[in-house]
Amino acid sequence: MPNSNCEPMPGRSNSLAERDIEYVLHPYTNLSAHIKTGPMIITKGEGIYVYDETGTKYIEGLAGLWCTSLGFNNKRLVEAATMAMKKLPFYHSFGGKSHPTAIALAQRLMEMAPVPMSKVFFANSGSEANDTAVKIIWYINNALGLPEKKKIIAREKSYHGVTLMTAGLTGLPNNHRDFDLPLDRVLHTDCPHYYRYSVVGESEEEFATRCAESLRKLIIAEGPETIAAFFAEPVMGAGGVIPPPATYFKKVQAILEEHNILFVVDEVICGFGRTGNMFGTETYNLKPDMITVAKALSSGYLPISALMISEGIFDSMLLESKKVGVFSHGYTYGGHPVPCAVALETLSIYEEMNIVGQVQATAPVLQNGLAKLAGHPLVGEARGVGLLGALELVKDKETRDTFKVSDGVGATLAARAQINGLISRVMGDSLAFAPPLIINTDQIEEMLAVVKKSLDETLDILVNNGLK
Ligand SMILES: Cc1ncc(COP(=O)(O)O)c(C=O)c1O
């Protein structure tokens, strides 16, 4: 008989690890390697730290998955969830139904929005919010008599989710390969990573012009009348933490405006203080028609995401809804009262603690620390903004040559960091940092010291193996 107290089934393997291998299908995991190596099992969290089943303590250098901005044991969020659960454990927003918490959260988000927005649609994940944005764009372009204007442009190395549509928008080969993606209507333009893709002698501004002109060429080649929208993260996250080069978004936005192309800003990582402003939209002076948020909206404590849309988009939706009778889209759990209550409490805490001021005060310690590590023989580039950063490893600092994928150098560094007490994430050969926003300067120094030690150990390993 199944049991609910985490006990093994009689006659089955005993340890949590064995039961994990037996029963859990892991996302973003090498499935065959996992059978041999098994899981890392986290059982407890406290502030910026988590503990594994043996009691070993780690700094969570990526706030879980870029989300637990308030750390791992915020009592107020637990209390908010408990109260909401006791009062109204479920209600929905279909067919015009509503409840006070969703209304309050929608109003709060509209008041906070970095550019004027009109309505909020709630979903459960970043992928769903972005997917919804695409569906609404197609829906309104039909309303507007533009049935050909349906293609969506995203960027190489972007990350917008894993649903059928958003996995295609995501510009990472592993999200497409053998999933038969992207779907048609998806196009990709250049990744604006200055360090990696600029040519010798090219300034950041010149590089930004080249990226923008390449976007223009793509639009012209496809026909501007076929391009509906452009998706972008203010700082590309899962692609390796890539802030935009100077003047990039200004140039891109001018082209979008020229061709009547909607701009969807994916704030799933950048939203709520991460870049040193409440939204990445403010950091880079963006003018989105739609914004998606998730993750730090609830400090990751419960699943919730939101899509904000402009007045103009809503007006077009009204047209189409009148024509077809109903806006037939929605998720059972979208705007669920419990995550909405947790999100409201999260936003109150951000306001009370002045999260933006806090990030502005601590970010220089992270960014200066990473910049110092750029002097390490293995580090080609240190980059970042706010409490978001990355170190990119290179085989040769001069030529910027990368290691072979099969050398697994990024993975070695991440493994050393974990042994030394830091959980981080490696993307290719870039190690990313997005600690909980409550991290203090001593804790940032502690994290940087682990990174330095782990870089030195990785270098030793490479030298011993003749790879450096
Ligand atoms: C920028 C961005 N957009 C969308 C998503 C997808 O969010 P989810 O995993 O909640 O579907 C992510 C996830 O990391 C993300 O980083």
CA distance 330 to 332: 7
Alpha-carbon distance values, 180 to 143, 153, 165, 184, 263 (Å)? 30, 18, 11, 10, 26
Confidence (pLDDT) at 155: 98
Confidence (pLDDT) at 4: 54
Q: Is 155 in the pocket of ligand 1 (CB under 6 A)?
A: no
Tens-place pLDDT, residues 150-199:
999 999 999 999 999 999 999 999 999 999 999 999 999 999 999 999 99
Of 462 and 5, which is predicted with more confidence?
Answer: 462
Q: Is 131 in the pocket of ligand 1 (CB under 6 A)?
A: no
Q: What is the mean pLDDT of the chain?
A: 96
pLDDT tier at 376 (50, 70, 90 boundaries)? very high
Q: Is 159 in the pocket of ligand 1 (CB under 6 A)?
A: yes
Residue nearest to atom 4 of ligand 1 (CA): 160
Q: Is 127 in the pocket of ligand 1 (CB under 6 A)?
A: yes
Confidence (pLDDT) at 2: 46
For a ligand 1 pocket test, name from 160, 264, 331 the mutation site with the most ligand atoms within 8 angstroms of its C-beta.
160
Mean pLDDT of 237-247: 98
The pTM of the full predicted model, rounded to 2 decimals, is 0.96
Q: Which of 332, 425, 313, 446 is nearest to 28 (CA)?
A: 425
Q: Is 231 in the pocket of ligand 1 (CB under 6 A)?
A: no
Instruction: Name 277's bridge partners.
Output: none
Q: Is 126 in the pocket of ligand 1 (CB under 6 A)?
A: yes
pLDDT at residue 61 greater than cutoff 90: yes
Which residues make Cβ contacts (< 8 Å) with residue 238, sequence separation at least 6?
Answer: 159, 170, 172, 427
For a ligand 1 pocket test, name from 172, 279, 295, 301 the mutation site with the most ligand atoms within 8 angstroms of its C-beta.
295
Confidence (pLDDT) at 467: 85
Confidence (pLDDT) at 7: 66
Distance 129 CA to ligand 1 centre (A): 9
**Ligand 1 nearest atom to the CA of residue 158, by list position:** 1
For a ligand 1 pocket test, name from 174, 268, 427 the mutation site with the most ligand atoms within 8 angstroms of its C-beta.
268
Burial of 45-73, coded b for 16+ CB within 10 Å and e otherwise, reads bebbbbbbeeeeebbbbbbbbbbbbbbbe
pLDDT at residue 446 greater than cutoff 60: yes
Residue nearest to atom 7 of ligand 1 (CA): 126
Distance 126 CA to ligand 1 centre (A): 4
Confidence (pLDDT) at 6: 61
Cα 22 to chain center, whole Å?
Answer: 30
Residue type, 250: K
